[in-house]
Structure 1
Amino acid sequence: MALRGFCTGLKTTLRRGRAFRGPVTSAFSGTEFALLQGHNPQPLLRPCCARQLDLTGPVSFAAHAQALAETSASDPAPSVYRIEVVTGDVRGAGTQAPAIVTLYGESGGSSDYVVGNEQDENGFERGSSKKYELSVEKDLGVLKRIHVEQCEPSVTDTGSGWFLDKIEVTGPDGQAVVFPCHSWIGKNDAGDISGPVSNQRNLIPCERLDLPAIQFQDLEQPLKVQASAIAVPHPEKVHGGIGKAVNKKKTGWGGEDAYFCTTGPHGILGMGIADGVYQWREKGIDAGEFSRLLMHTALEAVEEGQPDVLKVMQAAASRVTAAGTQGSSTCCIVLIDTLHGRLASANVGDSGFMILGVTNNNPKPHVKFRTPQQEHQFGCPYQLGHHQAADPPEDAMLTALPLIAGDVIVMGSDGLFDNVADETILSEVQAQITAGKRASIIAQRLCAVAFNNSVDKDALTPYCVAATEAFDMVYSGGKKDDITVLVAHIQYATKDDFAGPVRQWFGATKKRYIRSKQYVHFAAQLARWFGKALVGVPSPFGAPPPSLLLLPQPASAPAPHLPSEC
């Protein structure tokens, strides 16, 4: 219960969840106050103007109510706002802690309302949608924002992280406004620190068009990617002779995990991870064949010049289906456009990636983005497969993000993210970057940390914390699994990085392509970036018209594969 205003003369104890109907003396005439019931988000009595009343005597509650009604007869009727709080359907999304919601509009702000503290069940469950009615003192007009603050957990911090998907508010006029969040409030039990560690968040309606959106612009200097990957199988698979690891330049696998990393035309670098479901082996099916063919086909699609990340995944899934390969697998594919500094991803399941780096608002290295796990329930991720219950590629979570030099992308199967918390990954990567280590060393180091935690029965891992919450039991230690790690370090490219690929490209084409729109476009880009022609690279006759810089590169001639180190 909350009491707004300064009142004295209370003759009873205020208890949580109880409506106070006893005598009270207001110390100041004209002070606004309201009594709030603990298990109800609505005020018990709407704010009113109290007179100097001595209510400590044997006066009936009806008399109190009549006196209050007389003093507030001129007050406007309260406005009812209906809100729907939607919790995300990702691992660790639920919480047992209630939250405080405050609405802000053109006419000011509302009172603080506690939601998620029902008598029968506290907090917000994973994938749940809870509705409340808020009786606000006045019409707030056009809503501008919602302030959400998570209350402190009453017993334990386990399960306190909350993945809030959105809040939908229906005002007195019947108009609904959506306030998206789709991120963590507080720290996730699965080790995710992509959201603010603070337990407060301001949500802005999605209809607000005056807010700056993510801007994708041509870079003043192109990027290059230093990338490397490693896969190791479950230790028991090695002893059984069924999980030997293979790590090559462009692809590799270990157990049912598989990965690829390759370059395509037009400055595109593609990489992906697939984690086959081991349980298919009980039916005589090797899901490793499914994941390996999935990644091999995705690699071919990238090298053939497919620039759409979802189409890469669709092509890979179609090829596996056409081949009649059985099994199922998670799948995460990322395409990096080094000429424009863009990342596009498609993710199905609990494999994923995170971006580490700095921003203008936060110059300290931090987690800039992290894909959440896609699960139907704990331990049952979304997956591509041959069976009817499999998820289609169209259900993939699609993401587009800007990249800058200095960013580090860490991709991994659940063998990495279930055994190593995000803050540990961040500290390990930062230590290796500071020491001048390459992407290959960083990937090996993260893989070693994940493996050591997976076989440690006493380690505090994201998986054991999430399992404790999901199964309502104490779980400790890591999770033995196949582990795949792929690290990509984004750096500035120099003209020397481009000279070799461009010379090779020109030598493989006929001389007439020197005046093609494709070559003119690319040569103009090089001149803009580096100020002069590259040594040994022919220049087109005459300066290209400015309009050519905006034309897409035609497919009449093969495009150069720009620098990367997969």
Structure 2
Amino acid sequence: MNFYESEDSQVQKALENFRKNLQIMHAAYQRHRGRCLVRISSYKGATLEQVYIMGSFTSPPWKVLIPLSYSITYKEYFIELWLSAESEFLLVKKDIKFALEAFPQRMSKLGFIANYIKIIKPANSNRKPSKCNIKYQFISEGLSQGKEPDINEDAFFCSKFAIGIADGVGGVKRDFGISSAAFSSELMKNCKEITDKIDASFNANFQTSNKVYLKGLNCEKIITQAYQKTNCGGSSTFLLISLLGNHLQISNLGDCGLMLIRNNGKKPIVVFRTTAKQHSFNVPYQISRKFTKLQLLTTSENNSQSFYIKDHWLEYSDCVSDADNYLISVQKNDIIVMGTDGLWDNLFVDEILEQVKVSCRDHMNLKEISENLVEMARARMNSEENTPFSEEISRKTGHSWVGGKRDDITVVVSYVDDA
């Protein structure tokens, strides 16, 4: 009996790897064709009426209705499509066609108003800050705990003007016997070194620091340079934020998450949150490196033919440029909660917001907030309570799941203060 269970498990694992590799190849093919993955979403409204999308990108154009999926966690209908610039679309609900405010609109060739893809990035990603003055800085505290006592594949760093978290992909250790902890740690270490140099420039020469600050603290440039300097092999998601004047720049690849909470002295409210970017359920976008010779010495699997076939796929990872990029306004005293999927898979957004509200009311410090969120997520992970992960796996697969997801948990809580 155990033999057949083991054989079935190996077949399932091989199929999952094959599916993942196909998705990576498909993404590379779409990027080669000049397309980008665009997330289109619509709030559900008062009822659960099915929402569809139609557009110029179907065959035939404007004749095919594609159903949107429904997210219980975010209470919205959504779809992710590989689209080219200038692609036009409308949403359809109960035979009513409507455009979204989040995307630009224009008169289509067929004579009606439609949304179109103007920028192949999330909305406002290339918008320039209205002012380049150094205005704000981060005050931050973070905590990271591994699901196992002897290893943690998450990593993070904090500085005055930038914060980053990375989640080493656990599937790499299952496939290769080598953890991604070294890869994610080196990636964040390199980010920290780059931002520390910029902080040093700011402190050394305040007169010219505005130019250094605006030029240097670009999230995509930071993560690109850090990735190029990373030597260890492995795979990881990342979430990087930086301050540009009174704007927050965000670069997110994979299933780490961020929530921006406005604390204006009344009732803290969520004004922005990121969404996960995944090839499919539980297969996040990620950047990778092939293993070093030193890493290969740590595994007994490195002589097998299947190992080298799998190791080859690490060369075909997603790209830094695949990240979702945002530029949004921030205010003094805004609170930012960042976390790896160990947080967001085990706690609902409303629960995290409530903890922040309680913390503000009780005048807790940032360290206490991050510790409380990690402990809450860990308790839920080992419980039989309902979680975002259990709801998502039920919706995606039709199978029931009890409790949370065992994972490393990293939480960084920050607030925006005067520089």
Matched, 1:375 2:278: yes
Find the residue that maps to 1:426 and give its secondary structure. Answer: helix
Change (3 A) 1:175 1:296: same
2:154 corresponding residue in structure 1: 257
CA contact (8 A) 2:380 2:403 kept: yes
**Is the alpha carbon distance of 1:149 and 1:450 closer, same or farther for their aligned partners in structure 2, counting shifts above 3 Å?**
farther
Classify 1:278/1:116 alpha carbon distance in 2 versus 1 (closer, same or farther; 3 Å): closer
The 1:369/1:181 distance shift into structure 2, 3 A limit, reads: farther
Indicate the RMSD between aligned Cα atoms, in angstroms: 4.0
How far the C-alpha of 1:116 sits from its partner, in A, is 6.6
The number of aligned residues is 305
1:332 aligns with 2:239: yes
What is the CA-CA distance between 1:215 and the residue it aligns to?
6.7
Does 2:400 align with 1:474?
Answer: yes
Q: In 2, distance between residues paired with 1:395 and 1:117?
A: 24
Distance 1:214 1:358 in 2: 25
Letter in structure 2 aligned against 1:463: F
Distance of 2:158 and 2:269 partners within structure 1: 25
Once the two structures are TM-superposed, the CA of residue 474 in structure 1 deviates from its matched residue by 2.2
Give, in whole Å, the separation in 1 of the partners of 2:101 and 2:402: 27
Please state how far the C-alpha of 1:128 moved relative to its aligned partner: 5.9
**Structure 1 residues 333 and 98 mapped into 2: Cα distance closer, same or farther (>3 Å)?**
same
For residue 304 of structure 1, report the CA deviation from its aligned partner: 1.4
Report SS of the residue matched to 2:337.
Answer: strand
Pairing 1:255-404 to 2, within 5 Å after superposition:
255-263=152-160, 269-282=161-174, 283-305=176-198, 306-320=216-230, 323=231, 325-337=232-244, 340-357=245-262, 364-386=267-289, 387-404=314-331
Work out whether 1:231 is the aligned partner of 2:144. Answer: yes
Give the gaps of 5 or more residues in structure 1.
1-85, 102-114, 130-144, 152-162, 183-204, 207-212, 244-254, 264-268, 494-561
Distance 1:429 1:351, change over 3 A: same
Q: Structure 1 residue 217: deviation in Å? A: 4.0
CA contact (8 A) 1:99 1:149 kept: yes
C-alpha change, 1:473 and 1:126, in structure 2 (3 Å) is farther
Contact 1:331–1:348 (8 Å) recurs in 2: yes
SS of 1:127's equivalent in the other structure is strand
Secondary structure of residue in 2 paired with 1:304: helix
* Aligned mates of 2:118, 2:377 — CA distance in 1: 30
Report deviation, 1:271: 0.8
The alignment status of 1:483 with 2:398, answered yes or no, reads no
In the TM superposition, what is the alpha-carbon distance from 1:280 to its structure 2 partner? 2.0
In structure 1, the residue corresponding to 2:270 is in which secondary structure?
strand
- Where does residue 454 of structure 1 map in the other structure? 381
Asked if 1:216 is matched to 2:109, the reply is no
Find the partner of 1:440 among 356, 361, 367: 367
- SS of 1:317's equivalent in the other structure is helix
- The residue matched to 2:255 in structure 1 has which SS? coil
User: CA–CA distance in 2 between the matches of 1:214 and 1:432?
Assistant: 34
Counterpart Cα distance in 2 of 1:89 and 1:380: 19
Q: Structure 1 217/285 Cα, relative in aligned 2: closer, same or farther at 3 Å?
A: same
CA–CA distance in structure 1, aligned partners of residues 247 and 102 of structure 2 = 25
Query: How far apart in 2 are the matches of 1:311 and 1:344?
Result: 12
Distance in 2 of aligned mates of 1:485 and 1:228? 8
Report the Cα offset of residue 180 of structure 1: 7.2
Residues 417 and 399 of structure 1: CA distance in aligned 2, closer, same or farther (over 3 Å): same
Q: Using the alignment, how far apart are the partners of 1:96 and 1:149 within structure 2?
A: 13
Pair 1:438–1:149, CA change in 2 (3 A):
farther
TM-score by length of 1: 0.48
Residue deviations 1:329-366 (CA, integer Å, cap 9, x gap): 001111124xx22211211110121101158xx97422
Greater helix content: 2
Contact 1:374 1:381 in 2 (8 A): yes
> Following the alignment from structure 1 to structure 2, what is the Cα–Cα distance between the partners of residues 341 and 369?
15
> Counterpart of 1:406?
333
Q: Specify the alignment match of 2:39 in structure 1.
A: 88
Deviation at 1:276, TM superposition (A): 0.4
Against the structure 1 CA distance between its residues 124 and 405, is the aligned structure 2 distance closer, same or farther, given a 3 Å change threshold?
closer
Q: Which has the higher contact order (CA 8 A, sep 6+)?
A: 2
Q: One-letter code of the match for 2:143?
A: I
Distance in structure 2 (CA, Å) of the matches to 1:466 and 1:472: 9
2 CA distance for matches of 1:382 and 1:397? 11
Q: Does residue 465 of the first structure (1) align with residue 391 of the second (2)?
A: yes
